[in-house]
Amino acid sequence: MVQRPLSPAMRRFVDDELLRAPLLFDQLLDGTLDHTRKSLPTMAPLQRATTGELMQAMLSQRRRLGDYFMRSLQEQVDAELQNQPRHGATASTAPRRMSLALVDEEVVAMDVELSHIIEAIKSNAEYELRELQTYISALVGDMDVSVDHNPFRAETYARATWAAAQALPLSRGHQLAFMRSAGPALAQLLRTAYAASSSRLDAMGIEPAAHRTVILPSGTRRGSRSNEVTFSPDLHSIRDTMPGPIDAPLSYEGQGRQPGGSAASTPAFRPAGGSTAAAPGTPREHWTEIARTTSSRVDRQSIELVSRLFDAMLTDERVPEDVRMIISRLHGPAMRLALRDSSLLDRDKHPLWRFINRMVFECEMAPDPSDPERRQLLKTALGTAEQLVAEPEQNNALYRWALDRFESYLHKRLTRRLAAAASQIGALQKLEDKLLSGRTDAHSSFHGMLDVEALDTVPADLMEHSAPISRAETPTDTWLDGLRPGDWVRMFLQGRWVQARLLWPGERGEVFLFGDGASDTTWAVRRGALLAMHAARLAKSLKERSIVGSAAARVQEQMASAAA
């Protein structure tokens, strides 16, 4: 994996921030104690007594809490600096490993509190975080501020605070109360700390990346997000309103040529029906000439529309570079197909566009470029694309075969992962049966410390462990019961967002097994935990986005701008 070298200036910045972190934690603990002390008069007698236990532990274990905080902060920052790829993918160079994490309602309660703290920090320090991001981008040489290179993000401090909470020799309820009291103090402290960091970098002579005007070589800038839309225009309508003359040069040169590269001309060929088309590898200029000289206006418009669609997809910043290379290989075949079959403009139905959308989505679910599964996925997709390029006869049946071949690979990949988790699934089914028969000894570690209202968005049955509670059907239940093996879900687990695939739903709907998209980690999640996450907006289904639809919207916007 290609990584951006850590500059000496960036190393000095990180070391300086870590040296200041113990003082920040001391201030955090003082602020937490002050917040807790002010809350005592509003508490019931029992809650006041348990809160007193928490305050006493915070004072007596102050050094221990600080050590846990600093150890977590150091580990997170080191991991960030060692594993961050050049283009900011959330990847790790560590080998894939198989593990199983059990997630119950107690874990979700802490994740809910973590999410609240993270949102509070981002809300209070929104401007300061954005300003600091521009300075740190300058330190690492990312003049476009394309990703967030700040190793001291809100999530980092929130997880370090949770690590400190776990140092308390008390129940989970006490630890959760500590997190709730620490949240407001941490948000205010970090707002000041982020502003001070920017000031120190400015005093060092660092010029923020966002304040510069940088002229980069053609094709190196990533596309803007301004064209992300929630609708997708009809391709037939766009083609029919597209001007007949094709004079404007496009940013990408067509099949076989990357931005800034070169392409070798190959002879044109004549498809059935008499229209002249270009063979694979033909430069974009040749397609433009063909579009000008063909007798059919519809053919000219179709050629131009397909070219613009591919240009838009190849400049879409959501599409990774290795995926763009495969999409570019399909440019030429798609141009040839456009002269044969108008159904290519059926955006939601045609197998070519469905193949592209599916490939992009699956690569988003496996974001690590060094992951063997992702490399095999791309190898399969590229092999399929090369076969499409080599076919002299372009038709719908060919692309249906390509889509079926890719779907078959994805099905086999899911089957392999299920086979690898077979022993876990067997054990979890037995656990589910015990849970529903009441033969488990699962007890909450909150020990009555917390009232339900303190959990805010968490449902009232969050603390119940021994048996499922009968309830009326809710939208959350409908969402959970609608999940099927193979569906992707975005969840907030253990202080971070993950993309997880449902591998196995328990036969009785109480335990669900999910697999991480970026590793072999698996999570066994109880129904109540999933309901709590979904109610707190910490879990949602991921649907395949239409990259082609977004490209169509960009083309339509460009045409409207040109006509204005």
Q: CATH number of the domain at 468, please.
A: 2.30.30.140
pLDDT at 279: 39
251 and 172 housed in the same domain: no
**How do residues 134-156 score in pLDDT, each as one tens digit?**
888 888 877 667 678 899 999 99
Q: Do the domain assignments include residue 410?
A: yes
Tens-place pLDDT, residues 87-118? 333 333 344 444 566 687 778 888 888 999 99
Which residue ranges of the chain lie beneath pLDDT 50? 1-2, 85-98, 212-230, 245-283, 441-471
404 in the same domain as 486? no
Could you say which of 163, 178, 211 is where a domain stops?
211
pTM of the model: 0.70
| Domain enclosing residue 355, as ranges | 232-419+546-563
- Please count the CA atoms within 13 angstroms of the CA of 425 that sit on its side-chain side: 15
Are both 525 and 389 inside the same structural domain? no
Note whether 265 and 129 are same-domain residues. Answer: no
Please report the sign of the dihedral spanned by the C-alpha atoms of residue 529, residue 531, residue 533, residue 539.
positive
Q: What is the pLDDT of residue 57?
A: 93
Please name the residues in contact with 360: beta carbons below 8 A apart, sequence gap of 6 or more: 318, 319, 323, 545, 547
Residues 362 and 387 in one domain: yes
Separation between Cα atoms, residue 462 and residue 424, nearest integer Å: 25
Work out the widest C-alpha separation in the chain, in whole angstroms.
90
Domain presence at residue 220: no
For residues 52 and 146, membership in a common domain is answered with yes
**Of 516, 539, 537, 496, nearest in space to 367 by CA:** 516
* Residue 350: inside a domain: yes
Q: Which residues 6+ apart lie within 8 Å of 98 measured at CB?
A: 420, 520, 521, 522
Provide the mean pLDDT of the chain: 78
Residues 521 and 383 in one domain: no
Same domain for 376 and 472, yes or no, is no
| Dihedral sign of CA atoms 529, 530, 535, 536 in order | positive
Domain membership flag for residue 216: no
- Among 211, 246, 262, give the residue marking a domain's end: 211
Alpha carbon distances (Å) from 524 to 371, 433, 445, 518, 537: 23, 14, 19, 17, 19
Q: How many domains does the chain have?
A: 3
- 526 located within any domain: yes
Could you tell me if residue 224 is inside a domain? no
Q: Quick check: is 139 in a domain?
A: yes
Is 102 part of a structural domain of the chain?
no
Q: Looking at the structure, tell me whether residues 524 and 553 fall in a common domain.
A: no
Cα angle value 65/171/173 (rounded, 5°):
100
Per-residue burial over 274-309, b = 16 or more CB atoms within 10 Å of its CB, e = otherwise: ebebbbbbbbbebbbebbeebeeeebbbbbbbbbbb
Torsion of the alpha carbons at 251, 2, 147 and 372, rounded to the nearest 10: 90
Q: Tell me: do 275 and 390 sit in the same domain.
A: yes
User: Nearest to residue 277, comparing CAs of 254, 252, 258, 257?
Assistant: 254
Same domain, 493 and 405: no
For residues 180 and 243, membership in a common domain is answered with no
Q: Are 33 and 58 in contact (CB under 8 A)?
A: yes
